[in-house]
Homo-oligomer: A and B are copies of this chain.
């Protein structure tokens, strides 16, 4: 059996959630690091592995798996080790709704805030033709459009305000859920916790003031959940393998 993960370092959000699932299951795997700074994920040879140019990809005995959420369900189904999904169909439904939520709703809202802060600052000093070229190569058209708007600082202010509203509503929803049960999907630790944890871990590093304004003394259940996550052996192992800059 061979298992490889193509991922970014530091291990954040999408790479992190698949990486953490492998660690939680106790799977032996090889790490193939791609460098986002030189856009290694948008060039050959990686485009031969995943033509969409998105990270991560899991290669299991020659089969290439992409799309974070579906990879994680695959990991839970294909490998031995402790289950990462609740046994009850209702809780499992809840887990999948949370995974969708952090990807498609809360995650998009916070990423929109993030991109509009970071992209003009990081790319603003570089050659505009080079940046135009890079943006033109982003395979996902929605993301391409968002990045272009952020780079040109043309995102309508009402879209950023709406992202703030959605972020605040999303965090309130998480806080409420975690006052009802120890984990997002209920009594069982699951892929929903893995997805949210990795997302917040990235965001705390990129935009600590935004996350600090969302998760704070007024969200004690969420803070307690984050602390419990940090105590998990697999999370500690992921931390040890995460190459944070500087």
A residues at B contact (CB < 8 Å): 63, 65-67, 69-71, 73-74, 77-78, 89-90, 92-93, 96-97, 100, 104, 141, 162, 166
Contacts and interface: CB of A to CB of B under 8 A. Distances in A.
Contacts of A141: 162, 166
B162 A67 contact: no
A92 B67 contact: no
9 smallest CB-CB distances across A and B, nearest first, come from A77-B89, A78-B89, A70-B96, A74-B93, A70-B93, A74-B89, A70-B97, A141-B162, A63-B90
Contacts of A90: 63, 65, 74, 78
Contacts of A74: 89-90, 92-93
Contacts of A104: 104
Nearest to A77: B89
Given A90-B78, A162-B141, A100 B63 contact: no
